[in-house]
Amino acid sequence: MSKASASLPDKPGPQSGQRARPGLYGRSKGKTLSPKQKSLIQDFLPTLGLPEGEIDPRAIWSDADQIWVEIGMGGGEHFVAQAAANPDQQLIGFEPFQNGMAKTLNTVERRGVRNVSLTMGDARLTLSRFVAGSVDRIFILYPDPWPKRRHWKRRLIQPGFVQEVSRLCRVGAEVRFVSDIAHYQQAALWQFLQNPDFVWTAESCADWQTAPNDHTTTKYEQKAFREKRTPAYLHFEKRAV
């Protein structure tokens, strides 16, 4: 066994203070990682991690114009494209699935993208250590839909999570939620509309039926198109209450 595989964790984390906890569902491992992928996770990922304790991203990246977060970035297609297209912003990505993280790391390395931080694990654990009002934009693209009613409680978008998103966001910050599952689209819209801290910015159907100009498609979006499902692009703004 190589040095890399000997010390790779079975579960996402612990990394940057991460710990496994009940409440994170879905896969953390898929196909066996190649030696190169193991090395990316063992050696490259820690160089992009976040500090222990309270995290003030604006203090860490004081040169960055804005702090953008992507939760569940999968293989990183959208995450890396945003980072490459916006070198003045700092992108912070979370993904517990190690094959997705390995793919993202590979693209980050190949493209030489510098303005990124990556954490392998449950975003909620690390984001709870972010100082309030420290994030300018949050992307949540195709979160696991958990279509069976008895699994809805596993969904990321819950009232408590929306409140936590509000805590993280500065006034004027944007939250972009995308899903191809009609019930989750409706449920997420309802949850954000129920929270007085957010306004839904759509003014016409086109605003939520059409991807924004700076959107980059993802693996799950391509799957949705192939299977003839229609995504909804829901954008919310944190307002001063």
Ligand X SMILES: C[S@@+](CC[C@H](N)C(=O)[O-])C[C@H]1O[C@@H](n2cnc3c(N)ncnc32)[C@H](O)[C@@H]1O
Q: Which residues, including other chains, have CB under 8 Å from residue 63's CB and lie 6 or more apart? A: none
DSSP, residue by residue, 140-160: EES-----SGGGGGGSS--HH
Residue 144 a catalytic site member = yes
Write b or e for each residue in 147-178: b if 16 or more Cβ atoms lie within 10 A of its Cβ, otherwise e.
eeeeeeeebbbeeebbeebbbbbeeebbbbbb
Figure out which of the listed residues 40, 91, 123, 181 binds ligand X, where binding follows CB under 6 A: 123
CB 196, min distance to ligand X, A: 25
Binding mask 68-107 for ligand X (x = CB under 6 A): ---xxxx-------------------xxxx--x-------
Figure out which of the listed residues 124, 170, 183, 239 binds ligand X, where binding follows CB under 6 A: 124
Nearer to ligand X, 2 or 230 (CB): 230
CB 138, min distance to ligand X, A: 12
Find tokens 């992009």 and name the residue.
Answer: 48
Nearer to ligand X, 26 or 172 (CB): 26
Helical ranges in the chain per DSSP H? 3-7, 35-39, 57-60, 77-85, 98-111, 123-127, 159-168, 182-194, 205-209, 219-226
Catalytic residue among 56, 65, 136, 144: 144
Angle at which helices 98-111 and 77-85 cross, to 10°: 30
Determine if 13 is a binding residue for ligand X (CB under 6 A): no
Which stretch in 30-38, 45-53, 105-113, 140-148 sits in contact with ligand X by CB under 6 A? 140-148
Name the residues that contact ligand X, by CB under 6 A: 24, 26, 71-74, 94-97, 100, 122-124, 141-144, 156, 218-221
Active site residues: 144
